[in-house]
Every structure is written in structure tokens, then in C-alpha cells.
């Protein structure tokens, strides 16, 4: 969306939303030079903001109490595991896994956040502990690829098959064990004669 359209929309609605404000900022940051029309539109917007014709909608701050509770639980469980082993676990991965399986607890005020914390301690503590434990189990079962991890290329199908084949040869070299008996070996001439 262009600056002119954003300003036009703001003047029509009487509000400049955070999304509109972000888009105007992005355009201004990425453009090497603004046009005269864009400068005029920005001037109109500034005038409308100063007179109150357009009101800037403030960014609302939300508190997700569930994030706080999951992070606290994850850090406690991770510290326990890391003290007993040499594994280093990613708090973000574990918290994200658990948060995706738990209900959000948003609040817009500190009073609301206190209420949500109390409610969660009474009703959801066991579920939070269970989901963080499940996240840890899943994380510990995942192989550690380290810095060698690479995404598969997005080229042709044969190239992707070649990449997968290389990965299988590295990580599962004995997956297709060669049969020890001659039972499975078929002469090439037999295969050709059977095809015709």
C-alpha cells in the first residue's frame, strides 16, 4: 500500500492504526527518495494528527501470563537436566513447543495479569508441567545435527533425491543391508528374458 493510500484511509477513518504507521515507516526507510506526492501526503497526515482530525491508535501492550509461567517451568526443568548431563537445551524451542499446546492467558493490566497468574496456578499448573516435560522429552529425543545441518535445496526433483540419498548414506549407512545368500541375486539375463 502506498503512503498516499494509507493517508487517505486514515483521513477517511479518522484513525491511524499501528499497522498503517508501521507501513509508512517501512516505506520511508526503504525508499531512496520520496516523491512530492508522498511528502504532501505525509504533510496532510501530520496536520490531521496535530488538529485531532486523525487519532493515532496506541499500540496496546499485552501480557501473556502463560509465557511467563511456561518459561519459569522450562528453566527449572532444563536446569535440572543440564546439571545431570552435558546436553545444552534451547529454552526457546522447549517453551514454544509447550505454548503451542497450552491456552493463552492474556491480560492488558497488571491487575488482570495477577488474576490470570492465580487462575493458572490453581487450574493449569499440572498441565503446564506436563507440557513442558513433553517438550523436553521431544527435544532430548531429537538428533543433534550441530552446525552441519542444511536445508534441502529447492531445485529440481532429481537434485533433492540426490541430497536425501546423501543424507541417508551419512546417517543410516547400514539401512539397506546386502543379503548374504544368493537367493536374492538374479542373473541379468533372467531379468531381461522375463521382461519380454
pTM of the model: 0.51
Compute the radius of gyration of the chain from its Cα atoms.
29
Cα 157 to Cα 154: distance, rounded to the nearest angstrom = 8
> 170 or 6: whose pLDDT is higher?
6
Lowest mean pLDDT among 39-43, 73-77, 190-194: 190-194
| Cell numbers given for 41 | 501526503
Cα 140 to Cα 87: distance, rounded to the nearest angstrom = 9
SS3 for 139-160 is: HHHCCCCHHHCCCCCCCCHHHH
pLDDT at 196 over 50: no
Lowest mean pLDDT among 10-19, 53-62, 115-124, 185-194: 185-194
| Average pLDDT over the chain, rounded to an integer | 82
pLDDT score at 178: 57
pLDDT at 108 over 70: yes
DSSP state of 124: T
Amino acid at each position: 500500500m502506498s503512503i498516499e493510500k494509507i493517508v487517505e484511509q486514515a483521513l477517511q477513518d479518522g484513525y491511524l492504526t499501528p499497522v498503517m504507521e508501521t507501513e509508512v515507516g517501512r516505506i520511508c526507510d526503504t525508499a531512496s527518495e520520496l516523491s512530492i506526492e508522498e511528502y504532501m501526503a505525509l504533510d496532510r497526515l501530520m496536520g490531521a494528527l496535530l488538529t485531532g482530525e486523525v487519532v493515532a491508535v496506541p499500540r496496546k501492550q499485552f501480557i501473556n501470563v502463560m509465557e511467563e509461567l511456561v518459561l519459569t517451568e522450562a528453566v527449572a526443568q532444563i536446569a535440572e537436566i543440564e546439571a545431570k548431563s552435558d546436553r545444552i537445551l534451547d529454552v526457546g524451542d522447549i517453551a514454544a513447543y509447550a505454548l503451542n499446546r497450552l491456552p493463552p492467558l492474556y491480560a492488558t493490566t497488571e491487575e488482570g495479569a495477577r488474576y490470570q497468574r492465580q487462575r493458572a496456578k490453581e487450574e493449569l499448573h499440572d498441565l503446564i508441567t506436563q507440557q513442558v516435560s513433553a517438550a523436553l522429552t521431544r527435544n532430548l529425543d531429537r538428533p543433534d545435527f550441530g552446525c552441519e545441518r542444511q536445508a534441502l535445496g529447492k531445485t529440481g526433483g532429481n537434485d533433492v533425491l540426490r541430497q536425501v540419498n546423501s543424507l541417508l548414506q551419512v546417517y543410516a549407512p547400514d539401512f539397506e543391508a546386502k543379503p548374504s545368500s544368493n537367493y536374492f541375486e538374479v542373473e541379468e539375463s533372467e531379468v531381461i528374458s522375463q521382461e519380454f
